[in-house]
Amino acid sequence: MKSNMMTAIPATINTTTSAMINKHTLMLVAALSATVLLGACKNVPAVTSGIGSDQIAPGQKFSKHLQVDNPKLGKKLHISDIRSRSNNDLLEINLSLTSTYKKSLQLQYQFQWFDNDGFVIEAGKSPWQPLNLHGMQTATVPGLAPTTKVASFSLYVRAVPEKFFKF
């Protein structure tokens, strides 16, 4: 009889230990799942890096209009609003460029204009314009199409190298 009790006790301990391990594992999995779900809900700025579109944040409706020269800068900028109208049959744009970076950014921007077929209109004729964005600032960037044939646009943004603005 003693031998039956001895074998019964380890079986009870193993069952209890197993239940405790399963409970802790379940709690750990639940905590990790909650962390992943909350992390997925944060707002990601909409940008592309260069010409590619693999870094566009889903659901950002203006992301197709922003082209940035490097991924680091691209993560700090997004277009938050676009307004357009016809001005003497020319497309006039006012877009809001927002910095999600805490420090100032020394930038240059240039519009690229496209016709209905997606071809560039007057490539290289639009000059680079300076733009200083302070931490978390939104700036209005104006643009006026060069011809009446313009159907869409992209805003190209690049950082100004520090050696050009240090005194």
For residue 157, give the CATH number of its domain. Answer: 2.60.40.3230
**Beta-bridge mates of residue 77:** 99
Q: Judge whether 78 lies within some domain.
A: yes
- Nearest alpha-carbon partner for 165 in 96, 108, 99, 110: 108
Is residue 66's pLDDT more than 70?
yes
Q: How far apart are CA 26 and CA 117, in angstroms?
A: 56
Same structural domain, 27 and 67: no
Cβ-contact 79, 143 below 8 angstroms: no
Higher-confidence residue of 124 and 153: namely 153
Is residue 90's pLDDT more than 60?
yes
Model's pTM, two decimal places?
A: 0.62
Q: Work out the pLDDT band at 109, boundaries 50, 70, 90.
A: very high
Query: Is residue 113 within a helix (H) or strand (E), and if so which, with residue range?
Result: strand 105-114
Same structural domain, 36 and 79: no
Mean local confidence (pLDDT), 20-28: 59
Cβ-contact 53, 71 below 8 angstroms: no
Is residue 80's pLDDT more than 80?
yes
Residue range of the domain that includes 119: 63-164
Q: Is 59 left (phi over 0), alpha (psi -120 to 50) or beta?
A: left
Same structural domain, 70 and 147: yes
Same structural domain, 16 and 74: no
Is residue 48's pLDDT more than 90?
no
**Residue 134, amino acid:** H
Is residue 76's pLDDT more than 90?
yes
Q: Where are the extended beta strands (E) located within the chain?
A: 66-68, 77-87, 90-99, 105-114, 120-121, 129-133, 138-144, 152-159
